[in-house]
Every structure is written in structure tokens, then in C-alpha cells.
Amino acid sequence: MNNDIEEIKSKLNIVDVLGEYIKLDKAGANWRALCPFHNEKSPSFMVNEEKQFWHCFGCQKSGDIFAFVMEMEGVEFREALKTLAEKAGVKLQSYNPQKSEEKNRTLEILELATKFYEVQLWKGDGKEKILKYLKDRGLNDETIKEFRLGYAPSGWKNMLSFLLKRGYGIEEIAKTGLLVQKNNSQPSDLTPSPSPYQGEGGNRFYDRFRDRIIFPISDYSGKVLGYTARVTPGSDESQAKYVNSPETEMYHKSRILYGLDRAKSEIKKQDFVLLVEGQMDVIASHQAGIKNTVAVSGTALTQDQITIIKRYTKNIRMFFDMDSAGENATKKSVKMCLANSISVHIVSLEQGKDAADMAKENPKKLAENVAGALPVMEYFFQKTFGKFDKNKVEDKKKITEELLDIISNLENEVEKNHWIKKVAQGLGVSESALTDELKKASLKDKNYKDSGPKEESKKIGPITKKEMLIQELVGLMLVSSFVWKKALEEAKNGKISLRDNLFEAMLEKGEKVNFNFDTFLNEIVDDRELSEKARKLFVQKKYQLDLNNNQEEIIIEDPWKEFQTCEREMERESKKEELNKIGNDLRLAEERNDEEAKKFLLEQSDKISKELAKIMEL
């Protein structure tokens, strides 16, 4: 993989790669832009062409081309590697070429099929009836084209013949989900007649989508993986209203958020996603200017979808139909979100209207409703108290049940407490009675919390003083070869030791890379986390923004002196920590009346206090 990364980096220029996503302006030796990862009015996002990295002085994110694509597309490293390898024309070594070739063929077929359906819509049979319907629903040409809507004409083998003629084999076409395998028990009039293009196998299959409006479903990068097909209005509406692609090797419904490829950058910018029910809702909202909209396609949110959303934002606004099916889906989705630390707002709407209707009738009002979405608990509180009569015993029970069902999923105890109080007040019952009920509800819902992947143990909130000092020390080593070398000497003499993986890697590889940052970075390029950390600390120590928002180098007059000052502070912190620990042990010893331990601990504390005083004098 090491060679792959280097080869890709040598073939791509960071300015070109990032330039495809954001507008870069030349600023001195560097480039700058408005940061795509946080909202800002003046640019603090810098691209250093010489060193081929980027850094935002606003949100402190930084990295190389891979980190940028990961962040921008919300994908894992592997995926970013593939994307950039393709762009650079690099064949990845650790790749199964046959599997990848197969995948490419599948994508090719789906792309061709999508174009075929588009042509049928604009130039073929779909021209009048389907376009009229879509326009009646308020969509304009531009939107219809943007979302690549199409039409599958009636007939059993339009698609099949079209693809066979282009040289694709029946088996590989079948893998895309575009065909249905013939079932022996089918009446003979449903059997497609043999076609000259079909080989022996051809008789076994026919087109899945016939006389339907086609909504292509893409992955985050816009590659079509499957379709939803709506029955043509006015045709045989006794058939299923919607027919979907089956699960295939590439299309997994539970992992798709419809519209994400067009919504992702706006989701990041707005820091929330508007979640709607159907494809039409997404398309109409998009046309109404609310571009951070995606759909779950008819079902409640899945764990996979939540994981995907979390790459872009931790805030969801839900806009589901509020019929009873919609309400159930909402509740289930809300619980999943809460259990995954996602904050939820609910957009409420008049009975019987969906986002698509509203976008068509009054786009401004839609935007207002989205902006005025209620925090989820407030929404359910109002709704539940409105629905039942709190003076009736039976209703009281229902209110309690419905609300505790959601409260039990709140992660924050303070918040939980707040809502217990409110419900107790609203119903005129005691909080303790509700707390008991809450325990029952929590047990019932346990599966939500356990089903999700464990949150990585990333620490939230500000870092400790000690962590900050470690960053300082390592940062100084990264920008100064001299300091790096001296630190290694000190470590060899046992004068310094830091519990930090980057520090340790620098000690280990220092001599090998001749204490040079760039060489070191190449050496650790396989360890993404470590190299990101190194680059980030390097940039933070090396550059800052001047008054004109230009990146300028920080001049450190005497980095070694600075390093030593930090070291002393570090020691001081360690001593303080030791003293704290002794203080705790001392309290425990007092509780136990353990005189011997007390004596020992007091001596220790005295000794360390003296050492601390000595450091303070320096």
C-alpha cells in the first residue's frame, strides 16, 4: 500500500484535486479558500502546494489529498484511496483485479441502463405522459435532468435486448437487478417471446421495470446502483405502485440514502440533514433550494444509514408523513438516533401533506417549517399531551408510556431528568413513580443501544493540560531537527519519557529519517492516524494566519529553550498529579484508620511537594 500511496501522490497535485471541490485562490506561495468543513465568511483554509497538504486555521482540520477526500466524501481511507488511484491512473497493488473488473462492468451496465431510461423519457414513449406527470408534480426540466429521472417503456425485453446488443452477457446483466428470472409457474401470456439477441439463457429472463417512471438510486459519489420505479399514472394501477431493485452485490437498500450524492456538501455546510420519506420529497425539496435533503426510501432509518449520516453531521431534522405508519417510522428512527448521540428535530406539517406537496405549493413555507423544527422531546411532549386527556386515568397511562418510551433513549442524564420533571408536572404525578416506569421502558429498549457499533472512545471536550504540553513538545520536535535530536539524547539518558505514540515513533525513527519531517512522514505514511497527527502538529507549530488571512511561518527564536520550558511544565504537571493521587489515597487511609499507610503517604507527599517547589524555582 505504501507504494500505492506514494505513486498516487506523485501523480496528483493537491491543488488540482482540491480545486475540483472548492474554489482556490492564490495567496502568496500558497492557496486559500473558504473552508468546506465549517461555515465561514473569510477564508482560513490553506493549501500548501510545496508540501502538498491543507490546513484550516478555523476548525483545525488538516491533511493530505486522502484526508481531504475522506472528509469531503465522508468515506473511509480505502475508498478515498480507490477514488484517487482512479484519478491518478494508478493500479492498486493489493487489489483483486477480477473482482474489480466485474464491479466495473456492473457499474457500466447500470450507467448505460440509466441513460437508456433517460432517453426514453425525453425522446421516447415517456415524452408526453410521464413528463406531464412530473411537471404536474411541480418539477422543472432542470431538476428532472439533474436527478436523471427516466422512463422504462412497456414491453418485456427492451432493456434486455438493448444490453445484449451492446455485448453484455445475460448473467452479468442479471447481476444488476435489471432483470427478473422467469418462474416456471408463470402463465404463458406473461412469457416473453424469444428474441434473436437472446442466447439459450435469454429465455429465462425479462425486464424488471416495465411502463414505469424510473428514479435512479446512486451511492454517495453518484454512481447508479439501483432503481425505484413508480407505476405510470393512468396505466394499470392495480400493480404495485413502486417496484425496487432487489438487493444485489452492490445495491444494499439499508446502506443507501437517496440524494446523498447531491446533498452531502450542503449537509456539511448547514451542519444538519433534512430527512424525508420518499424520492419525490428529496427532489422537490432540492428544487425548492433545500439541498441538504436525503430520503430513507419508505422505511425507518437503519444503523448503517445512521453511521453514514454521522460522517457528515450529528444533527437530523425529520420530515415524515404523520399518518400512523409515518409516525411509527419516525419514532423508531428517533430512538435509533438518540441511542447514537444524534440530535433530532422534527418538522411538523399539516395532516396529509408531504414535503413534495409543500415544496410545490409554497417553497418558502417549507423552508420556514424546516427552520422552525422542534427539538424532538418538545415535539413529542406537545403532541402526546394534545392527543390524550391528561385528566383521565387511562390516558394518563398512555401519555406516560408514549413519552417514557422516548425519554428512555436520551443519552444525557440531565436531559432525561428535565423531561421526567416536565411529564410529572404535566400529569400531576410524582417523579419517583415515573422514574420506576422509566426503568421498565429502558429495559424494553435495550436492543437499540446495543445494536449500534460502539462509539470509538474519542474524548470529547477540551484536552488536559498534560495532553496540551505533549502536543507542544512533539510539535517542537517536528519543526526543529535540532530539538528532535536533543530529545532523542535526553530519552536515551532517561531524562524524558512521554506516553505518546507519535513521540515514540519519532524517537524510534529519528536517526533513520535524519530528523527530517518530510522523510519521517513518508516513513509512517501507512499509519494514517499517526501521519495525520504528525502533519497536524507540524502545521500548528509552523504556520499561523497573519492579519490579511495569509498563511505565514511562525518564527521560533529558540526552539530548544521553548522545549525545555515545556518539559519543566510537564514535570510540574506530573508532580501535581502525583500529589492529587496521594491526597486521594490519604483520604481512603483515614477512612480505614490505617495509621501506617497515613504516615507513609504523608512522607511521600512531603517529598514530592519539595521536588515540586524545586521545579517551580527554575
Residues that bind Zn ion in the complex, under the rule CB under 5 A: 35, 37-38, 56, 58-59
Shortest gap between Cβ of 37 and Zn ion (angstroms)?
5
- Cβ neighbours of residue 532 closer than 8 Å, sequence gap 6 or more: 62, 63, 67
C-alpha angle with apex 224: 146 to 267, nearest 5 degrees? 60
| DSSP class per residue in 428-446 | T--HHHHHHHHHHHHHHTH
Closest to 535 measured CA to CA, from 146, 45, 51, 209: 51
Interatomic CA distance for residues 317 and 376, integer angstroms: 9
Complex with Zn ion: residue 61 or 486, whichever CB lies closer: 61
* Cβ proximity to Zn ion, 59 vs 374, nearer residue: 59
> Can you tell me the distance from the alpha carbon of 139 to that of 465, in angstroms, rounded to the nearest whole number?
56
Please say which residue, 57 or 215, places its beta carbon nearer to Zn ion. Answer: 57
Rounded CA-CA distance 371/315 in Å is 13
Q: What's the grid cell of residue 226?
A: 439501483
DSSP codes joined into one string, 118-149? HHHHHTSTHHHHHHHHHHHTT--HHHHHHTT-
Least distance in angstroms from the C-beta of 34 to Zn ion: 9
Q: Please, which residue, 46 or 608, has the CB nearer to Zn ion? A: 46
Query: Which amino acid appears at position 134 of this protein?
Result: L
The CB-of-311 to Zn ion minimum distance in angstroms stands at: 16
- What is the amino acid identity at position 356? A
- The distance of closest approach from Cβ of residue 545 to Zn ion in the complex, given in angstroms and rounded to an integer, is 12
CB of 494 to Zn ion, least distance (A): 41
- Quote the cell numbers at residue 145: 435532468
In the numeric block, which cell numbers belong to residue 108? 457500466
Nearer to Zn ion by Cβ, of 210 and 268: the residue is: 268
In the complex, least distance from residue 68 CB atom to Zn ion, rounded to whole angstroms: 12
**Least distance between Zn ion and beta carbon 542 (Å):** 18
Instruction: Give the residue with the Cβ less far from Zn ion, 58 or 363.
Output: 58
Cβ 464 to Zn ion shortest distance, Å = 24
Instruction: Give 35 or 566: the residue with its C-beta nearer to Zn ion.
Output: 35
Would you say 56 or 173 has its CB closer to Zn ion? 56
Are the C-beta atoms of residues 46 and 12 closer than 8 Å to each other?
no
Amino acid at 380: F
Measured in whole angstroms, the distance separating CA 527 from the mean position of its chain's CA atoms is 22
Q: Residue 409: name the closest of 440, 381, 441, 437 by CA.
A: 441
Please identify, using beta-carbon distances, which residue of 141 and 271 lies nearer to Zn ion: 271
Q: 178, 212 in Cβ contact below 8 A? A: no
DSSP 8-state assignment for residue 190 = G
Task: Give 62's DSSP letter.
Answer: E
* Smallest distance, Zn ion to C-beta of residue 265, A: 13
Residue closer to Zn ion by CB (options 39, 328) is 39
At 337, which helix (H) or strand (E)? helix 324-339
Q: Are 163 and 109 in contact (CB under 8 A)?
A: yes
Q: Other CB atoms closer than 10 Å to residue 305's CB: what's the count?
A: 23
State in angstroms the smallest separation of the CB of 536 from Zn ion. Answer: 13
Nearer to Zn ion, 38 or 576 (CB): 38
Alpha-carbon distance 47 to 25, whole Å?
10
Question: Which residue stretches of 20-123 are H helix?
Answer: 65-73, 77-88, 97-122
Is residue 148 within 8 Å of 139, Cβ to Cβ?
A: no
Residue 46 C-beta: closest distance to Zn ion, Å: 10
Shortest Cβ 429–Zn ion spacing (Å): 48
Of residues 37 and 168, the one with the C-beta less far from Zn ion: 37
